[in-house]
A and B are shown apart, each in its own frame.
Chain A
Amino acid sequence: MTSHWIDMIHADVAMVMGSNVVENHPVAAKWLARAKERGSLILNVDPRYTRTSSFADHYCQFRSGTDVAFVNGMINYALEHDYIQREYVVNYTNASFIINPDIGFHDGLFSGYDEAKRKYDAATWQYEMGADGMPLRDLTLQHPRCVYQLMKRHFSRYDVDTVCSITGAPREDYLKICRNYTSTWAPDRVGTWLYAMGTTQHTNGTQNIRTYAILQLLLGNVGLAGGGVNALRGESNVQGSTDFGLLFHILPGYNPSPLAAEQGLAAYNAANTPTSKDPKSANWWGNRPKYVVSMLKAWYGDHATAANDFGYDFLPKRDGDYSHISLFEAMYEGRIQGLILLGQNPAVGGPNSLKERAALEKLEWMVAVDLWQTETSTFWRRPGTDPASVQTEVFLLPACSSVEKEGSVINSGRWAQWRYKALEPVGESASDLWILDSLFKKLRAEYAQGGALPEAITKLNWDYGTPEQPDRHQEPDVHRVAREINGYFTRDTTIDDKGTPKSFKKGDQVPGFPMLQADGSTASGNWLYCNSYTGPEPKDNKLARRDGKDAANEIGLYPNWAWSWPMNRRILYNRASVDPAGRPWNPKKWVIRWNETEKKWEGDVPDGPWPPGEKHPFIMRADGHAALWAATLKDGPLPEFYEPLESPQHNLMSSVQVNPAIKLWHKSNPELNPVGEEATYPIIGTTYRVSEHWQAGAMTRNLPWLAELVPDAFVEMSQALANQRGIVNGDRVQVVTARGAMDVYALVTNRFQPFRVDGRLVHEVGVVWHFGWEGIVKGDSANVLTSHVGDANTMIPEYKAFLCDVRKITGGVA
C-alpha cells in the first residue's frame, strides 16, 4: 500500500476493485466501517455480488478479465469532463513530458512491436530530450506529443458504450461509479483505491494496476490522507517477503537480481543505477550502489572487499525467467532435481495444478517445510496415483506456527511489527529460522569439501548465536538477524552529513539509510529497513514499539507504534500531498506541511527533507514525476485492453486478441498446456477464496470449526445458468476446462448474473480453490482448471479468467 490500513477512514470515496476486502481481509472492514460512519462512499466492482458488495453503497458487475477496459473508460470519463486535479497533474506527473516523434499506436499495438519475438522495442516510447539533457515539457499540456494529449487520444476510444459492451457492466451502474469516483478530482476530496489478487492474476495484471495509478494521479489522490493505490496483500507477511527478495528478479530492498550479462559490480551498477540531469530530481535510486554494497557486506562480512567487488561474483546471475510457471515447466521437463518449499503448497495453489503435480514426480527429492502435511508433501499418494510409481524422495520438516516463535510480520501498510512467542512449539516442530540456520550449517560443512562455487556458501557471514552442530534447544537469536537487517558500521567512520561531520564506531548500528555507503564501511541486510533497529539492545528495536499516541496532524499515523519503511514514513509520496509552495491540498487532513518559521516539515516523515519546491515529489523516479506514461513496461506505455487468454469474446478494441507481450506456453510447451475454445467451454470461470478458509487450506481445513462452516468445495452460478443446465442448489456438478475437471457442489445464487457482452448473454461461474485431498474436509482445487499463462511483466498466473463448462452429475445428491 502507498498508505496504510487505518488511512482508509479518510477516503471520501473508497473503490474496491479486484479485491473482496471484506471477505478476505475482514479486519480491514473495521476501517471501511469507520469510513462509512464518517460519510464515505464505498464503491465495489466485481463479477459477483460478494460480502464486500453487500457492504458497499454502489455495486457494479463486470466480466472477469475486462478490468483495463472498465478503468480506461473511467479515465476517459475524467479526461472528457476535465475532472482532473490540474495543478497536481501538471507539476507532479509526467503529463507535460513530450514523447519521441516516432511514437505510434495502431490497431492495438504501440510502435516498436516485433511479432516474431512477441516483444516491444521501447525506443520510440521515450521522452524527447532537450539539448540540456533534460526531457522536453509543455506545461500548457497542448503539444500533440505530450503525454496528456497522447492519453486523451488513447483513452477517447474507451467511451461508455464501448466499455459497457466489452465488460457487460450495466450502463447506469457504470456511470454511477464513474461519477462518484471522479468527484475526488477536487483538491480537498480524496479517493482510495483498494485492490488485491483479482487485479494482479491476469495476463493484463500489471496494466490493470496501471489504470488505477493513472486515474489516481489524474485525480490527485496519491500521497494524500485517504488516498493511494493500495495493494491488499494476500498473506499477513507477503509485504515482508517481497521486501526481502522472495521473488526471483529482486534482491532484498527491490534491487534487481543480477543478470548473466552484468559481470562485475561496475557493470551491474551501470545497468541499474539511473541518472538525471535535472537538479530538482532527487533520483533516489542513484543511491543504489550504496545499498547493494551494504547488502553484500552484510552477507559476506570480511570476505567482501573492494578488491573482490564486495563478493558480487558470489551472487548467482540469472539468464531469464525463474518465475513460478517457468520453474514448473522446467521441472516437468526434468531440468530441476530438487525443491525446497517453505509454507507453499503448489499442488493446490499452483495454476494448472494437474501439470504441476505431474512435474513434482520428475524431482529426485523434495523438502516441504510446513505446519501440516500438505497436498504437495503427499503428491505421491494423490488420488489416482500409485505411490510405488513415484521415485521422488520426500521430506516433511514440521514448522511451528507464528505464535510459537519470536519475530516480525510486515503488513500491507508496510508496518513492521514485532511479535513474541506465546507457546512452545508443538512436538518436534521448529521455527523457520532454526530450520534454515541448521540447514545452512550442514550445507556449509558439505561445501567445505568442495562443489560448484562453494564460496557463495562458505564465505557467508553467518553468526546468529547457534552452535556448529544444530541443537534443537538452541534457537538462533532473532534480534541478531533484525540488527543485521538494519545494518552496522564495519569500521570507525566519519560521514559528512550536509556539512556536519558525524562519527561512528565500528559495530554501531546505522541510524538510517542516508548514512549507508558504497565503500564497504557499512553493512545492511536491507536498506529499506535501515532505521528499524538503531542500537544494540532489544529496546532499540523500533518494530516492538507500542505507543498509541498520534502525530500532530491526528490522521492516525501513530508514528511510535511499530515502525514503517522507509524511515518510518507512513504515507508514501507524501510530498505530493502539498502544493508546490508546501501547503496541503487538503488542510483538514494534512499529511505534511512546511513550517516557515522553523524551516522544517511537520506531520509524517516527509519524502526527503528538502524545502517545498526544491525537489520533485516522486523521488524514486529518475525524472521526479509520477508516470502516467510508463516506458519501462513490456506491454505498452499506456494500458490497452486485450482479452484474457481464454475468452468467449473477440476483442472489440482491436484485432489483437490477447496481450501481445505475454509468453504463450501452449505454443512453446504444448504438453499438458491445452487452451480451450468457446465452442466446447462457453462459460467464463474464475477462482477465489472465502473468509472461512485460508489459501491452499492447510491452516483451515484442519480446524474443525472452520471445516464446519465451509466443508466442501463449491461453484457459484446464476439462476439463469442453473436453469439452462437443469441444476438446482446443492446438486453435484462437474466443472471442466481444457486442462482438468472437478466435482463440486453447485451454489445457485442471484449474486451471480449473466453479462450482456457485445449484445449477447455470457455466463460466468466462480470456484473456490481452497480444497485438496488432505485435511479434515477434502475436495479438489479449482486450480485443476486454471492454466499456465501469466502477466507480461510479472508472470503472475491468470487464475482469474478462463473458459469452462458446467455439467450436472446425474444421480448426484445434495
Chain B
Amino acid sequence: MNAMLIDSTRCVGCRACQIACKSWNELPSEKTQFFAGKGYQNPKDLSATTWTLITYNETKRRGRFDWVFGKRQCMHCLLPACATACPVTALKKTPEGPVVYDSSICLGCRYCQLACPFDVPRFEWDKVFTKITKCTMCADRVAEGMEPACCKACPTDAIVFGERSKLLAEAHARIDANPLNYVHHVFGEKEMGGTCVLHLSDVPHQELGHAGGLSEEPASAYSRPAMASIPFVLTGLGIGLGAVSWVVNRRQQLAAQQKEIERLHEIAEQAEGKEPGGTNS
C-alpha cells in the first residue's frame, strides 16, 4: 500500500508543494490579505480549493527558539472514518492507498466531515451540486505510476512516496540514526488505526498543527453509531445539514426543481455564515 512520509526536519517551508497541488488539481487561488495564520501562512485553513497547507510555527526546540513548518492534508487513513461514516460509500479506501471520492453518488450529507478526526474534508458551497473536497493523494498520478504532485515538487525530499511498510521502517531508521533530532513518534503510524500519511518532526506533532489526543483505535469501530447519535442541536449546523440532505434527495429525484435547490443553498450558506469564495484572479 502506498503512503507518504513527510519529514518536517527537512521541510524548508517553501510551499512548492502547496502550489504543485493547486497546479495539478487545477484549483483556483483564494483571495487572501496579509497572512491568515501564523508567520507566512496563507490561506487560513484547508478549503474546497486548498487541499494541502503549510503551517509556520514559532516554537522552542531543545531550549532554543525555532521556526518549524507543518504540512496539513488528508491522512489517507487505513480504516478511514470518513468512508465508514459515508452512507453510500462515496468515499472509499483503495488498495493502492488513496482514500478516493465519487461525487456522482455523494448525498452531500457531510457525515464524513464530522467523522474525520483530522478535520480534513471540505464542502464546496459555491456549486449547484455540493460535493466534498480533499487531497486525493493524486490517485490519478499514482495510477499512472507517478508520485503525488507535492512530492514531485518538494526540493528537499521532505515528502517521499512509497510502500507504507518501507516508509515506516525508513521513519524509524531516521529516528534511530538521529535520536536527538526527532521526537520519537511517527505520527500516523498508529493514530486512528494508522494512516498512509506519516509525519516525522523534531517538535511535538501538535505544534505543527496536527490533531492531538487521538485514539489508536480505528474510527470505524465507532464512527457510524457516533454519527447517528449526533443530535443536530447546533442550530446553524443543523439547518445546514438538514437543508443539504434534503437538497440532495431532491437532486436525485427532481432536477427540475433547480430554483428551490439554489434557494436552499443560500439558506445553508447564511446559516454557516460562509462568504462565497472569491479568488485573487
Interface set of A (CB-CB < 8 Å, partner B) = 22-23, 26-27, 29-30, 33, 49, 51-55, 690-692, 704-712, 714, 730, 745, 747, 749-751, 776-777, 814
Please determine whether A54 and B281 come into contact, CB atoms closer than 8 angstroms: no
B248 on the interface (CB 8 Å rule)? no
Please determine whether B12 and A712 come into contact, CB atoms closer than 8 angstroms: no
Please determine whether A750 and B33 come into contact, CB atoms closer than 8 angstroms: no
> Which of B10-42 touch A at CB < 8 Å?
10, 12-16, 18-19, 22-23, 28-35, 39-40, 42
Please determine whether A712 and B19 come into contact, CB atoms closer than 8 angstroms: no
Partner of B34, one of A30, A690, A704, A714: A714
B170 on the interface (CB 8 Å rule)? no
> Which of B44-68 touch A at CB < 8 Å?
58, 65-68
Q: Which residues of A contact B280 (CB under 8 A)?
A: 704, 707-708, 711, 776-777
Q: Which residues of B contact A706 (CB under 8 A)?
A: 19
Question: Across the two chains, which residue of chain B brings its CB closest to A28?
Answer: B155
B249 on the interface (CB 8 Å rule)? no
Pull 16 A–B residue pairs with CB atoms less than 8 Å apart, ordered by A: A22-B14, A29-B12, A30-B156, A33-B156, A51-B13, A51-B14, A52-B12, A54-B67, A690-B40, A708-B31, A709-B40, A710-B35, A710-B42, A711-B42, A712-B33, A751-B67
| Shortest beta-carbon distance from A593 to chain B in Å | 32
Q: Which residues of A contact B14 (CB under 8 A)?
A: 22-23, 26, 29, 51, 691
Please determine whether A708 and B155 come into contact, CB atoms closer than 8 angstroms: no
Q: Which 3 A-B pairs give the minimum distances between C-beta atoms?
A: A704-B29, A704-B281, A708-B29
B279 on the interface (CB 8 Å rule)? yes
Please determine whether B58 and A30 come into contact, CB atoms closer than 8 angstroms: no
Question: Across the two chains, which residue of chain A brings its CB closest to B281?
Answer: A704
Please determine whether B34 and A745 come into contact, CB atoms closer than 8 angstroms: yes
The answer to whether A709 and B34 touch (CB under 8 A), given A29-B155, A751-B67, is no
Question: Across the two chains, which residue of chain B brings its CB closest to A714?
Answer: B34
Partner of B65, one of A26, A690, A750: A750
B140 on the interface (CB 8 Å rule)? no
Q: Which residues of B contact A26 (CB under 8 A)?
A: 12, 14, 16, 155-156
Please determine whether A51 and B29 come into contact, CB atoms closer than 8 angstroms: no
Q: Which residues of A contact B65 (CB under 8 A)?
A: 49, 750
Please determine whether A33 and B34 come into contact, CB atoms closer than 8 angstroms: no
Partner of A54, one of B12, B29, B34, B279: B12
Question: Across the two chains, which residue of chain A brings its CB closest to B23?
Answer: A705
Question: Across the two chains, which residue of chain B brings its CB closest to A690?
Answer: B40
Q: Which residues of B contact A749 (CB under 8 A)?
A: 39, 58
Report the count of interface residues on B (CB-CB < 8 A). 35
B272 on the interface (CB 8 Å rule)? no
The answer to whether A705 and B22 touch (CB under 8 A), given A49-B65, A777-B280, is yes
Please determine whether B34 and A55 come into contact, CB atoms closer than 8 angstroms: no
Q: Which residues of B contact A776 (CB under 8 A)?
A: 280-281
The answer to whether A709 and B155 touch (CB under 8 A), given A49-B65, A730-B34, A750-B65, is no
Q: Which residues of B contact A712 (CB under 8 A)?
A: 33-34
B157 on the interface (CB 8 Å rule)? yes
Known: A710-B42, A776-B280. 12 other contacts (CB 8 A): A22-B14, A26-B156, A33-B158, A51-B69, A691-B14, A704-B280, A707-B29, A708-B29, A708-B42, A747-B35, A749-B39, A751-B67
Complex CA distance for A705 and B30, rounded to whole angstroms: 8
B194 on the interface (CB 8 Å rule)? no
Q: Which residues of B contact A49 (CB under 8 A)?
A: 65, 67
| Shortest beta-carbon distance from A26 to chain B in Å | 4
B43 on the interface (CB 8 Å rule)? yes
| Shortest beta-carbon distance from B180 to chain A in Å | 11
| Shortest beta-carbon distance from B132 to chain A in Å | 22
| Shortest beta-carbon distance from A702 to chain B in Å | 10
Complex CA distance for A265 and B69, rounded to whole angstroms: 59
Q: Most chain-B Cβ atoms within 10 A of its Cβ — which of A23, A27, A709, A750?
A: A709
Please determine whether A709 and B42 come into contact, CB atoms closer than 8 angstroms: yes
Complex CA distance for A705 and B13, rounded to whole angstroms: 16
Q: Which residues of B contact A691 (CB under 8 A)?
A: 13-15
The answer to whether A711 and B40 touch (CB under 8 A), given A51-B12, A53-B67, is no
Complex CA distance for A23 and B16, rounded to whole angstroms: 11
Q: Which residues of A contact B155 (CB under 8 A)?
A: 26-27, 29-30
Please determine whether B29 and A705 come into contact, CB atoms closer than 8 angstroms: yes
Q: Which residues of B contact A705 (CB under 8 A)?
A: 19, 22-23, 29
Q: Which residues of B contact A709 (CB under 8 A)?
A: 15, 18-19, 32, 40, 42
Q: Which residues of B contact A52 (CB under 8 A)?
A: 12
Please determine whether B58 and A751 come into contact, CB atoms closer than 8 angstroms: yes
> Which of B260-281 touch A at CB < 8 Å?
279-281
| Shortest beta-carbon distance from B127 to chain A in Å | 19
Q: Most chain-B Cβ atoms within 10 A of its Cβ — which of A33, A747, A776?
A: A33
Complex CA distance for A704 and B39, rounded to whole angstroms: 20
Complex CA distance for A265 and B180, rounded to whole angstroms: 65
Q: Which residues of B contact A27 (CB under 8 A)?
A: 155
Complex CA distance for A690 and B41, rounded to whole angstroms: 13
Please determine whether A708 and B30 come into contact, CB atoms closer than 8 angstroms: yes
Q: Which residues of B contact A710 (CB under 8 A)?
A: 35, 40, 42
Complex CA distance for A26 and B156, rounded to whole angstroms: 8
> Which of B66-111 touch A at CB < 8 Å?
66-69
Please determine whether A704 and B28 come into contact, CB atoms closer than 8 angstroms: yes
Complex CA distance for A152 and B72, rounded to whole angstroms: 54
Please determine whether A30 and B43 come into contact, CB atoms closer than 8 angstroms: no
| Shortest beta-carbon distance from A752 to chain B in Å | 11
Partner of A692, one of B15, B29, B34, B39: B15
Q: Which residues of B contact A692 (CB under 8 A)?
A: 15, 40
| Shortest beta-carbon distance from B182 to chain A in Å | 13
Q: Which residues of A contact B12 (CB under 8 A)?
A: 22-23, 26, 29, 51-52, 54-55
Q: Which residues of B contact A53 (CB under 8 A)?
A: 67
The digit string for B1-13, where 1 denotes a CB below 8 A from any CB of A, is 0000000001011
Q: Which residues of B contact A751 (CB under 8 A)?
A: 58, 67
Q: Which residues of A contact B158 (CB under 8 A)?
A: 33
| Shortest beta-carbon distance from B150 to chain A in Å | 13
Q: Which residues of B contact A747 (CB under 8 A)?
A: 34-35
Please determine whether B157 and A711 come into contact, CB atoms closer than 8 angstroms: no
Q: Most chain-B Cβ atoms within 10 A of its Cβ — which of A54, A745, A747?
A: A54
Q: Which residues of A contact B35 (CB under 8 A)?
A: 710, 714, 730, 745, 747
Q: Which residues of B contact A745 (CB under 8 A)?
A: 34-35
Complex CA distance for A704 and B31, rounded to whole angstroms: 9
Partner of B43, one of A23, A708, A730: A708
> Which of B126-176 touch A at CB < 8 Å?
155-158
Complex CA distance for A707 and B28, rounded to whole angstroms: 11
| Shortest beta-carbon distance from A708 to chain B in Å | 4
Q: Which residues of A contact B279 (CB under 8 A)?
A: 704
Complex CA distance for A355 and B176, rounded to whole angstroms: 59
Complex CA distance for A23 and B43, rounded to whole angstroms: 19
Q: Which residues of A contact B39 (CB under 8 A)?
A: 749
Partner of A51, one of B22, B43, B67: B67
| Shortest beta-carbon distance from A149 to chain B in Å | 40
Question: Across the two chains, which residue of chain B brings its CB closest to A54?
Answer: B67
| Shortest beta-carbon distance from A780 to chain B in Å | 15
| Shortest beta-carbon distance from A542 to chain B in Å | 27
Complex CA distance for A769 and B11, rounded to whole angstroms: 25
Complex CA distance for A714 and B41, rounded to whole angstroms: 13
